[in-house]
Amino acid sequence: MNDQDNEDSDCELNGDERAWADLEGGTPAYGKGYGSGFRSQLQRAIWGDNEDDLLYDAPSAKRRRETKREKLRYITKDQFYELFDAVCFANLSGRVMNVEFTLQLGNLGILGESAAFGALGIWMKRYRDWCSQRDIERVYIYVWERPPGRSLHLHMQFHIPAEYLTDFKGWARGSVQSLCKPAAYASHTQPQIELRRTARVKSQWKWFEYLIKGLSPEICLPGTGPRKTLVDQLGIRAEPQGEIAGKRVGSSRSISWQARNDAQIAGTFAPWRPDRDAPAEAFWTDVYLKMWQSRTEDPLF
């Protein structure tokens, strides 16, 4: 090799440099290689670990990405059971969900996920203080939604002792309104709150059905009968509720996964798991409340 060859070799771009050059220049990576065999950490950071990621503009890759994004728009099986088990566990201690709460953050002039999550954090701290002042156990579940054509909003379901329901409603309205930004819609700053002074399991599960309207249509439970999805089994009209960067669903600490797991270890709680052969009514159970009623005559609601 002569001196000219050496000079040309020294000027040649390496794999990392060619990857960056293509990325910055908008050049498709389809069919290109950025090194034989091993690809450096930088190249993997640019194009991904999978060779298929280099074909990012191929139709098959686009379909895979869209399928993945579509799944993010729904409540998953694990998220469904996070909510379902939390409500069952609340019932086991005599607490039936009796408050339905919807918060439209956009109406308060709070835009963007980061701002919305921050505002909710402020409000939840106030809620914790409100409960502490009254010596009330915090019991709730929540679901974030952002369906097509709608802004980010939050649905919650609480248990509030009957004697504090009116107090809670007034406090919640004032507390939420204090979060308003200058861009708030003056006539729509109040949260939607529905109280049920007589807490019934049937009405509890009715609102729960509404909360899980974003349930994935791909979930199928085990069973011996004909294959059917959980959506069909429950008779829910599943609709995508948008991608959520943060945690889509959750529950209060008192009925959280950790609390339920501790109860399972202690032998005081067993999750309810109907199979796909069970009718929808089997899910909307009152068995946990009856278990509590069999142990006490001092109702909490």
DSSP string for 262-296: HHHHHTS-------TTS-GGGTS--HHHHHHHHH-
Please tell me whether residues 135 and 278 are part of one structural domain. yes
User: Structure pTM?
Assistant: 0.74
Please tell me whether residues 59 and 78 are part of one structural domain. no
C-beta neighbour count of 132 within 10 angstroms: 10
Tell me how far apart the alpha carbons of residues 12 and 15 are, in angstroms, rounded to a whole number: 10
Q: Give the whole-number percent of the chain exceeding pLDDT 90.
A: 42
Is residue 290 one of the residues assigned to a domain?
Answer: yes
Is residue 300 one of the residues assigned to a domain?
Answer: no
Please tell me whether residues 181 and 251 are part of one structural domain. yes
Please tell me whether residues 157 and 276 are part of one structural domain. yes
Please tell me whether residues 53 and 156 are part of one structural domain. no
Among 20, 42, 70, the domain-final residue is 70
Q: Per DSSP, what are the bridge partners of residue 143?
A: 155, 249
Residue 37 above 60 pLDDT?
no
Q: Which two tokens stand for residue 278?
A: 């069970």
- pLDDT tens-digit series, residues 214-264: 999 888 888 777 788 899 999 888 888 888 877 889 999 999 999 999 999
Please tell me whether residues 105 and 66 are part of one structural domain. no
Least trusted range by pLDDT, from 36-50, 96-110, 209-223: 36-50
Please tell me whether residues 171 and 119 are part of one structural domain. yes
Tell me how far apart the alpha carbons of residues 301 and 200 are, in angstroms, rounded to a whole number: 10
Is residue 164 one of the residues assigned to a domain?
Answer: yes
Please tell me whether residues 214 and 203 are part of one structural domain. yes
Please tell me whether residues 157 and 102 are part of one structural domain. yes
Return the top range by mean pLDDT from 41-45, 109-113, 143-147, 293-297: 143-147
Please tell me whether residues 134 and 23 are part of one structural domain. no
**Cβ within 8 Å of residue 58, ≥6 positions away:** 30
Is residue 276 one of the residues assigned to a domain?
Answer: yes
Is residue 301 one of the residues assigned to a domain?
Answer: no
Is residue 246 one of the residues assigned to a domain?
Answer: yes
- pLDDT tens-digit series, residues 86-101: 999 999 999 999 999 9
Q: How many domains does the chain have?
A: 2
Q: What is the largest CA-CA distance in the chain?
A: 97
Is residue 26 one of the residues assigned to a domain?
Answer: yes
Q: What is the extent of the structural domain holding 260?
A: 72-295
Tell me how far apart the alpha carbons of residues 224 and 57 are, in angstroms, rounded to a whole number: 42
Among 54, 70, 86, the domain-final residue is 70
184 pLDDT tier (thresholds 50, 70, 90): low
Phi, psi of 249 (to 5 degrees): -130, 160
The closest alpha carbon to 246, from 169, 159, 174, 142, belongs to 142
For helices 201-211 and 77-92, the axis angle rounded to 10 degrees is 160
CA atoms within 13 A on the CB side of 45: 6
For helices 165-177 and 113-134, the axis angle rounded to 10 degrees is 140
- Return the pLDDT at 50: 46
Among 51, 70, 89, the domain-final residue is 70
Please tell me whether residues 95 and 211 are part of one structural domain. yes
Please tell me whether residues 85 and 52 are part of one structural domain. no
